[in-house]
Structure 1
Amino acid sequence: MDAFLDFLRFERRYSAHTVVSYQTDLRQFADFLKASYELTEPADATHPLIRGWVVALMQQNLDPRTVNRKVACLRSYYKFLMRAGRIPSNPMLRIKAPKMAKKLPEFVAEDSLNNLLNSFEFEDTLAGRRDQLILELLYGTGIRLSELLGIAPDDISPSARTVRVTGKGNKQRLVPLNPALLAVLERYQTRRSAELGALSGPLLVTDKGEPLYEQFVYRRVKHYLSQITTSAAQQHPHALRHAFATHLLSKGADLNAIKELLGHASLAATQVYTHLSVDRLKSVFDQAHPRA
């Protein structure tokens, strides 16, 4: 298992967050095998034993997406064992993942979000300017939370109006910055320099100058978005990424351009936003067409 996790880190170049998720899934699987079948080596698990774990997960009423992620972890694990010559056959070949209901991403309404960003009076303190920058970066660039946390001061190029972000698989891309976001960034950097000295380490820090972490950003984003929406699904950082893509598409942006901005590996991942656009078109049609 350690060799597999090293393979994910150094050869597949998975993010630290993904590696931790795979490690947790494998430990849960190993614990299940030991408790249910007294089997101490996951590499020796057979198809019926693995299927028993999947059934046990479903009986816990877990979200099918969670179960699918755990099944995907095992698929990668046993493929790795096959390539390494550790097992004679792949026990995952007949394992079927549970079906998932198609769920469209939640996003914050454009008018509500613009009102928040344009009208809210953020305090002229390190905390206030940082919180404003978090919201502006997530919505203004569509980057992921992990990408936000990884931005360093040197990744920002004010003259080129771009930020370099490191996405999944350690792939880097340049994302443009709008003038309003650059102004927010400058105010934050001025305040940070005044309170904490020279800029070093990650761009975004806590009030004490320590690197931000996921739960911190979740709490700050929820604090502000809860003022404009009552939907819990719209009060997290990823909802701003969805809003970025959806609002671009509704304004006529090219789908391939949105794909590049989001850092998607394939267009299929981006096409979910076309469904949101069609729903909006239907709504407008129903309200406006005389025969509708």
Structure 2
Amino acid sequence: MVTIIAAFRDYLLKEKKYSSHTVNAYLNDVLSFQTFNTINFDEENIVHLGYGRIRSWIVSLVNGGLSNVTVNRKIASLKAFYKFLLKTKQIEVSPLLKHKALKIPKTLQIPFSEKEVVEVLSTIENPIGFEEIRNKLIIDLFYTTGMRRAELIHLNISNVNVENSTIKVLGKRNKERILPVLPIIKSQFSQYIKERSDLEYIKDNDFFFLTKKGLKLNESFVYRLINSYFSTVSEKVKKSPHILRHTFATHLLNNGADLNSVKELLGHSSLASTQIYTHSSLSELQKVYKDAHPRNK
């Protein structure tokens, strides 16, 4: 099994070109399933197991309090593993061939209003010092580019082109894309770069955004930063970098941007992924429609 798991890891990294973070998540899920079978059925080899074993694992995960979203993610990892075994002709049929994902209740992602974004940025309109200047730039970049949290964290300093007002980010599956930067952000870049160069010590020099100790940012740090600033102006339940990305897309659509352009900016591989951001723009269209149609007078 060790050799098979190692080969699966190479497949994900080299052929599928998944990020190391995604690969580790997949491997952890597969190893978790293997551990479940070892403990409960004294069976370490999971290559030729039937769906009954997988169903038992699903039941144990649900009974353990995991959400359907988490369980579905773990099963997706297992699907990828058995797909790899099919591809390498180690099995003839995937035990997950007829599996149906657990139902997930639809949750509405509510974006920030334009007023809320303006209010947050106005609180740091004239930032002073490294941290305030960095924080304002992070918020502005999320809102004006729609980049993902991981893309911001891993933004390389060599991929920030202040002169051309562009940044190059590395998205999912290691896909690169060039994002335009608005003129209002250009001066912030220069200001931040100057403050960054004055840091006493820099360990992670390749990364554009750093802590005041010169270290690369982490996911929880960025989440707390966004949550902290938007908690002062918004009572929405979710106040995260993803909601700010959602806000970027929604505000563009509300102001006339076409779906394909938003898709490219977000780095989506298909329009289906982008269409989840259209519900807010649809409500805007409904308002315009009701206000403008003569039958509603």
**Structure 2 length-normalised TM:** 0.90
* CA displacement, residues 183-213 of structure 1 (integer Å, 9 cap, x when unaligned): 2211111111122489941000111101111
1:24 pairs with one of 7, 28, 33 = 28
Instruction: Report the AA paired with residue 279 of structure 2.
Output: H
| C-alpha contact (below 8 Å) 1:15/1:170 kept by paired residues | yes
2:163 aligned residue (154, 159, 165): 159
Verify: 1:206 aligned to 2:219, yes or no: no
Q: In the alignment, does 2:200 pair up with 1:217? A: no
One-letter amino acid of the counterpart of residue 115, structure 2: D
Per the alignment, in what secondary structure is the counterpart of residue 96 of structure 2? Answer: coil
Change beyond 3 A, Cα 1:272–1:139: same
Residue in structure 2 matched with residue 272 of structure 1 by the alignment? 276
Matches within 5 A, 1:186-197: 186-196=190-200
Once the two structures are superposed, what CA deviation does each residue of 1:247-292 show, in whole Å capped at 9, x if it has no partner?
Answer: 0000000100000000000011001122221133335666898949
User: How far, CA to CA, are the matches of 2:219 and 2:112 in structure 1?
Assistant: 20
Q: Would the aligned equivalents of 1:122 and 1:132 in 2 still touch at CA under 8 Å? A: no
8 Å CA contact 2:199–2:212 kept in 1: the answer is no
- Equivalent position SS for 1:165: strand
Query: Quick check: 138-147 or 56-65, which moved more?
Result: 56-65
Query: What is the CA deviation profile of residues 32-55 of structure 1, one whole-angstrom value per residue up to 9, with x for unaligned ones?
Result: 212222211221321110122123
Name the structure 1 match of 2:12. 8
Counterpart CA distance in 2 for 1:196 and 1:164 is 27
Partner of 1:50: 54
Please give the per-residue CA displacement for 1:214-260, whole angstroms capped at 9, x wherever unaligned: 11111211111111112231x11111100000000000001000000
| Aligned partners of 1:51 and 1:95 also within 8 Å | no
More deviation in 278-287 or 163-172? 278-287
Cα distance change of structure 1 residues 143 and 35 upon mapping to structure 2, 3 Å threshold:
same
Which range is displaced more, 70-79 or 29-38? Answer: 29-38
**Alignment partner, residue 37 of structure 2:** 33
Letter in 1 for 2:154: G
Paired residue type of 2:119: N
Give the Cα–Cα distance (whole angstroms) in 1 for the partners of residues 172 and 106 of structure 2. Answer: 23
Q: Distance in 2 between matches of 1:75 and 1:108?
A: 36
* Preserved contact between residue 255 and residue 270 of structure 1 (Cα < 8 Å): yes
Q: Which amino acid aligns with 2:132?
A: G
Deviates more, 1:274-283 or 1:243-252: 274-283
Q: Which runs of 5+ in 2 are unaligned?
A: none
State the Cα deviation string for residues 122-156 of structure 1 (Å, max 9, x = none).
64211111111111111111001111112122211
Root-mean-square deviation (CA, aligned residues, Å) is 2.2
Map of 2:178 onto structure 1: 174
Compared CA separation, residues 109 and 34, structure 1 to 2 (3 A): same
Question: Could you say if the C-alpha distance between residues 135 and 21 of structure 1 is closer, same or farther in structure 2, counting changes exceeding 3 Å?
Answer: same
Post-superposition offset of 1:174: 0.5
C-alpha separation between the residues in 2 aligned to 1:2 and 1:13?
15
One-letter amino acid of the counterpart of residue 227, structure 1: T
Give the structure 1 partner of residue 82 of structure 2: 78
What is the aligned partner in structure 1 of residue 245 from structure 2? 241
Question: Offset at 1:2?
Answer: 2.1
Amino acid at match of 1:217: V
**Secondary structure at the counterpart of residue 212 of structure 1:** coil
The CA distance in 2 between the partners of 1:2 and 1:265, in whole Å, is 28
1:246–1:78 Cα change, 3 Å: same
Cα deviation digits, residues 80-119 of structure 1 (max 9, x gap): 0112222232111122211223333232111111121134
Structure 1 match to 2:232 = 227
Structure 2 letter corresponding to 1:19: V
Q: Which consecutive residues of structure 1, in runs of 5 or more, have no partner in the other structure? A: none
